[in-house]
Amino acid sequence: MRASRRTAFSALTWVGAFFLFFVTFPCRGLAQRELIIVSPHWEGIQYEFTRAFENHHRTRTGETVRLRWRDLGGTSQIEKAINSLFEINPQSAGIDIFFGGGIDPFESQKARGQLAPFQLPKEVLDALPKEVGGFPIVDEDFMFYGSALSSFGILENLRVVKIMGLPPVKVWDDLCDPRLFSWVSSTDLRKSGAAHMIYEIILQAYGWERGWAVIYQSSGNVRQFEQSSSGPTKQVSLGEAAYAMAIDINGMTQQAFLGIENVRFSIPEGVSVINPDGIAILRGAPNRDLAEAFVTFVMSREGQGLWMTPTGAPGGAERFGISRMGVLPELYENDLTGLLVPANPFKAEFTFTYDTALGSRRWSLVNSLMGQTIIDVHPHLVRAWRAIIDLPEADRAPFVARFGEPFISEAESVELAAIWGRDKLRAGQLSNQWMQAAVARFRTLEREARLAAAGRVASP
């Protein structure tokens, strides 16, 4: 039975991969050339960079080109699709550009040998910093570049907080407060690279043991895990959640639309980072010359200004204000009040250094661990957390400690991360064991907490 299931799953995986292969390759009968891009970027970014690059390329070369953005889901889903396509055809995935989604996926694609080196023209390259906050802007092998800067924080609906008498939230562990039960919104990190970065930041900023405690307790307050990175901020804007864990672009978009007096996006001081969003040419890109031209445009002053300049201003967006921090220091040299992001990331102080290599190595492992012990068993987790926080505060501590214990040690995570992507059988077996252990833990805690509340047993 297990063998037949594995065979069926494998067949479905190949069918899906073949489907992606055919829908991803451009049609050859078109009169104009096309540049094929995969990206988790939202519609506004896609529209503005399409318009600007097509105009730029036509002015510079006289050639009319078309940008085609393939919707393959969030960053994690895009990576899986790219990997599947290269398994079918190691020479080319039929895609030119991978654009957006942080830096870790680009480190991973580089390690797989699925990116193509491209050194920018000297005048563009010389204007770029090599790194910011410990993150690379220019990969040492020119395999990818940081195209824009992002940070991660918390969007708060100030009106809901006031009406419901909820506490203000400044840092990640404030989201563990029992008073926030059902008022927090987050995203399934397996569907969103931005959500994954938030949880990896928590693990690195607080350390493995304390980081998982923060993740489990805050997840007890999450009303539901959304399927897209923009979902939580939309929930906050509608008043269905009071707090959202979010990337800055989603938070600042809602803040700009609704007004800072109604919703506020803040970056947790000392426990967040500024992270570049990557761009790279994939190995075997069908339109290599166009891909090089697009990467050059994005990294040039013209492309960088598009991230920050207000709608309607010279060099700015036409329809959508993007509200992203560019990577050119010269953009921050003059008065910033007219820009969409009036803060200079190159003058920011970073109290902890994010380990990019570590985050990249354990990306899939953390996804599986959180997916199996939190997201896929969320109803069990929430019931246990509800039972615990219903106890008198003086009686909660031993239950809370057990609730937030990681299911593997940091030493075990190092060992497993090294083999996670290669030994799929063991990874699947361990994932199932973690899920079973999580359900058992949460059921036990719920039962014991309710018995303790009823006074029938002493607290453990």
Say which CATH number the domain at 25 has.
Answer: 3.40.190.10
Report yes or no: 103 and 257 within 8 Å, Cβ to Cβ. no
Strand spans (E) along 71-200: 97-99, 115-116, 131-132, 135-136, 145-157, 184-187
417 and 333, same structural domain?
no
The two three-digit tokens of residue 374, written as one number: 């939190």
388 and 338, same structural domain?
no
Q: What is the pLDDT of residue 106?
A: 95
427 and 341, same structural domain?
no
Residue 207 inside a domain? The answer is no
137 and 41, same structural domain?
yes
Provide the 8-state DSSP code for 166.
Answer: P
Residue 326 inside a domain? The answer is yes
Beta strands 243-247 and 184-187, pairing class: parallel
Q: What is the pLDDT of residue 345?
A: 84
CA atoms within 13 A on the CB side of 32: 13
- Backbone region of residue 433 per phi and psi (left: phi > 0; alpha: psi in -120 to 50; beta: other values): alpha
CA-to-CA separations, 204 to 197, 356, 358, in angstroms, rounded:
10, 10, 9
Q: What's the N-to-C CA distance of the chain in angstroms? A: 42
Q: Which of 16, 73, 344 is nearest to 194 (CA)?
A: 73
Write down the pTM of the prediction.
0.75
109 and 22, same structural domain?
yes
Q: Which residues of the chain have pLDDT under 70?
A: 1-31, 335-343, 350, 456-460
b/e for 258-268, b at 16 or more Cβ within 10 A?
beeebbbbbbb
In DSSP terms, 97 is beta-bridged to 37, 281
Q: What is the pLDDT of residue 343?
A: 65
111 and 55, same structural domain?
yes
Residue 101 inside a domain? The answer is yes
Residue 253 inside a domain? The answer is no
Q: What is the pLDDT of residue 25?
A: 47
143 and 16, same structural domain?
yes
Locate tokens 């489990």: which residue?
216
450 and 308, same structural domain?
no
| Domain extent for 422 | 362-460
Domain boundary residue, one of 347, 381, 407? 347
Domain boundary residue, one of 314, 347, 380? 347
Q: Distance (Å, rounded) from C-alpha 11 to C-alpha 245?
A: 37
- CA dihedral defined by 310, 311, 317, 322, rounded to 10 degrees? 60
Domain boundary residue, one of 347, 374, 393? 347
437 and 291, same structural domain?
no
Residue 421 inside a domain? The answer is yes
Report the length, in residues, of the chain: 460
Residue 168 inside a domain? The answer is no
Report yes or no: 250 and 229 within 8 Å, Cβ to Cβ. yes
Residue 21's contacts (CB-CB under 8 Å, 6 or more residues apart) are 85, 88, 89, 94
312 and 403, same structural domain?
no
288 and 423, same structural domain?
no
Locate tokens 């607290």: which residue?
459
Residue 217 inside a domain? The answer is no
Report yes or no: 197 and 101 within 8 Å, Cβ to Cβ. no
Residue 115's contacts (CB-CB under 8 Å, 6 or more residues apart) are 98, 106, 109, 143, 144, 280, 281, 282, 283
Q: How many domains does the chain have?
A: 2
Residue 225 inside a domain? The answer is no
Report yes or no: 285 and 96 within 8 Å, Cβ to Cβ. yes
394 and 370, same structural domain?
yes
CA-to-CA separations, 45 to 64, 89, 149, 228, 435, in angstroms, rounded:
20, 30, 14, 16, 38
CA-to-CA separations, 57 to 49, 117, 306, 334, 340, in angstroms, rounded:
12, 22, 16, 29, 26
Report yes or no: 301 and 328 within 8 Å, Cβ to Cβ. yes
Identity of the residue numbered 251: G
